Structures are given as C-alpha cells and as structure tokens.
Structure 1
C-alpha cells in the first residue's frame, strides 16, 4: 500500500506550485517564519475535508451534481479574487512591506484552509489518486485511504513549510527595495487571478 511509487507521486503533486504554495510564500514574505508555518498548517488542514469526502464517496456526488460543484467552485473563485485584492491593497492581509497587517496564527490558518476547502477538484483528485494504491480489499479501503491521505497531508505540511521558511529567509533582502515590493505584490495578485480563472473553467 505505502509504496515508493505512491511516495514519489505524492511528492511530485505536493511540490507543484499551486494556490496553497503561493499563499504560503506571500505570508512568509509579508509576515515572517511563524506566519509561514501557520499558513502551511492551514493549507494542510484544508485537505482533510476533501480526504473525508473522497473516503466516504461524497466526491462522486460532487462530481455528478453540477449545481453543487459549481456552487463550491465559484465560492473558490470569489475567494481567490479576494486574496488577489488583499495582495494589492495597502496594509492588506497579503500585502508586502512595512504597512502589512500582522495577523494572528489562527486567522492565517483559517484563510489557508479555505483555499483547499473551496476547491471542489481536490476531493475528486483524491478519488482518482488514492484508489490505484489500495490493496483492493473493499473492507480495508476507508482505512487505507485515511493512511495514504494522512501521509499526503504530512508531506504537504513539511514541503509547504520549507517553501514558507525560504520566503521568510529572503524577506529582509527582497523587502528592502520598494520596486521589488511593488512588483511582487502585483505578481502575487496576478497569480491569484490566473488561478481563479483556471478554477472557473474547471468542469466536474
């Protein structure tokens, strides 16, 4: 069940830059190491509902219900656009520079979790990713999916934490230039807009 193939597949998926990675990088640059760790933790927690949905078969319901899928999808799109605005707004939660609003760890965590919770493709992704690595015994499937999903979540946390800590480490150097700050803010906002557009075009 826990094979080298699964571990490598999971690692490739986790390493691939996505919305959670971009959020963690932005938080690390804007608010430092502790905030980056909270962001990584929140992105990891946000995976749990999708994993439960996949284990219970709710992902299949989401896949077949166009209305439900689109409701969750467009809530996710709206949230990504909100994050883009936060990146551009002076003193916003994702802005960079001395005027950045300092947030509590739990608030950072909650924002990060919502990124994955409001992505309907994540539960469908688990429904496609995990079954090939199961033993094939129906009675053991929920337990095995929970174990594999748990490993995926642990990998997500540590990889995202490394991303965030790297961003925090370069914070002082990058934020020393007003021009660099301006372009990074615009870049983060643009990426969130692009990700929102990509999610908007996804189909169940």
Structure 2
C-alpha cells in the first residue's frame, strides 16, 4: 500500500490530536458522565466524520466548495447546534451527581448522537478531507477508490483511539475533582463558553 506512508500517519495523528469541537465534547462528557459515556462520545464523533469522508471520496464535497448557499446553510446549522450544546451545558451547571448508578443505554445513545451531529454539521470537514486525502493517493494507482477507502478507515481508527484516550483521561481526572462542586461548576461553564467561542469561529469561517 504505497499510499500508507509515514507522512500520512504522522499528519493524520497531528490533525486528530488537535483540540476541536469533538475533543471538547468528549472531554466534557468524560468529566461529567464517566468512562462509558466518553467512549460513546468518541464513537459518535468518529461516526460523524463518515459522511464527510464519503462526500470527499465521491466528490460531493465539491458542492460545498463551489456553492456559497449550500456552505452557508450547512455552516449556520452547525453554529446553531453548537449554541444549543452550550446552552444545555450552562443550564445543567451544578446538576451533575456522582454516584455508582449505571447510566441508561438510551443516554449513551443520546451522547453518541450528539457527538455525531457535532461533526456532521461542520461543512469545513468535507472540504478538509477533499483537500487532504487525495494528497496521499499515488498518481499511478489503478485503484484510487479503494485507496481512498483504506486511508479513510485508518483515519477513523486513529480518531477513535485518540478520542477514547482523551475521554479516559478526563474520566481519570474526574476522580480528583468530583468532590469539589465549585470546580465542576467552573468546568461546565468553561466548556459552555468554549462551545460559544467555537460557534463564533465557525460562523466567521469562509470556504
């Protein structure tokens, strides 16, 4: 597999490690709801990039790149959703309770769905993958589609592994701060503020 180069692996790892909306959501979930919830968030964030990867593979991302109206509509849907998450996190400030009860499976599903929507409603991801993945496809390849699928799958595995690591780290930190409601309130409000800032950055972004 000529396209599976060290450059691709290192570049992908750096991209995945950089904090973004998915990382912030996963860390916030790990701090507030625990290990399993953070894993659900990690899975949701990973699945949320699938539509963008598929759009890049089949050229659909070009529509967002060429159509200003489509890009703006997608972008502001993402902005509204980030603001919704920020409001929900701020409204629940101080409501976290740490106990040994199992979180219902429906809650894990809801967390995964929220995480998916965070990435799905970010039009910059489609354009990013449209520009990123083809760079690592050999020009003389006879199977460009399968090469793109392989690179996409590897990128998703790296995303899942890194996000789970972030979530488990947050869960580990939670053990040291769970007896301080003041710290948890400060963290929740901080994450709400971060989501507002991210929504503002997305709103001001251009193609």
What's the TM-score bracket when you normalise by the shorter of the two chains? over 0.9
Whether contact under 8 Å (1:36, 1:165) holds in the other structure is yes
Residue 75 of structure 1 deviates from its aligned partner by 0.3
Residue 22 of structure 1 deviates from its aligned partner by 0.4
List per-residue Cα deviations over 1:39-95 (Å, max 9, x = no partner). 00000000100000000111111110111111110000000001111111127xxx7
Whether contact under 8 Å (1:87, 1:189) holds in the other structure is yes
Matches within 5 A, 1:145-160: 145-160=148-163
Q: Secondary structure at the match of 2:170?
A: helix
Whether contact under 8 Å (1:54, 1:127) holds in the other structure is yes
Q: Gaps spanning 5+ residues in structure 2: where?
A: none
Residue 175 of structure 1 deviates from its aligned partner by 2.3
- Aligned pair 1:97/2:99, yes or no? no
2:44 match: 42
- In 1, the alpha carbon distance for the partners of 2:131 and 2:197 equals 25
Q: Give the number of equivalent residue pairs.
A: 200
Whether contact under 8 Å (1:79, 1:115) holds in the other structure is yes
Q: Mark the CA change 1:185 to 1:6 in structure 2 (over 3 Å): closer, same or farther.
A: same
1:110 match: 113
Aligned match for 1:185, one of 179, 183, 188: 188
1:3 match: 5
1:173 match: 176
Whether contact under 8 Å (2:98, 2:178) holds in the other structure is no
